[in-house]
Structure 1
């Protein structure tokens, strides 16, 4: 992984979404100064931070790290969505998973 290139990709997506470093920081749960350091290749990020940034930017960790976009064929899209949901749930602390389960249960009848 080239941290300079990863930082450039984060900055490029952030700017294309018209987000400031402060807005991205808020969405990802990190400081604006840390966003600056990541974008300029001065700091590396943990797996958790990488995931939070990717989710905040609506992109994949693969794109941030390697510049690759996933090939999304009709069948692959469902797998990708499933993987994203599983990943999101896995990153939630165990103590809060019951709350998520209850929220999902209450919303499911309204999703068609």
Structure 2
């Protein structure tokens, strides 16, 4: 279950196994073993995977459906686009949201 969802999110973000491995600090072969469900991730690795892939640990574990959290399709589409941004661009958007909330 974890491997299937992990792989789908990685491909959706157009990340190679090597790129994801570099982001979370493990080897590309370890990513491959996780995606094939040969090995289960540690809690630390699971947390890093969720953060890197822009999903919850619950989603990776199969206990939550990501699409159920969206109010409408426009917000769902915006979130999908957000997840494909670089970490720096994501941070800029989050700062803009924070700014708008505080004015």
2:8 maps to which of 8, 12, 32: 12
Report the TM-score when normalising by structure 1: 0.58
User: CA distance change for structure 1 residues 16 and 42 in 2, over 3 Å: closer, same or farther?
Assistant: same
Structure 2 alignment gaps of length 5 or more: 72-94
Structure 1 alignment gaps of length 5 or more: 75-107
How far did residue 66 of structure 1 move?
1.2
Report the TM-score when normalising by structure 2: 0.63
Does residue 1:61 correspond to 2:61, yes or no? Answer: no
SS of equivalent residue, structure 2 residue 65 = coil
Q: Which has the larger radius of gyration?
A: 1
Does residue 1:52 correspond to 2:48, yes or no? Answer: yes
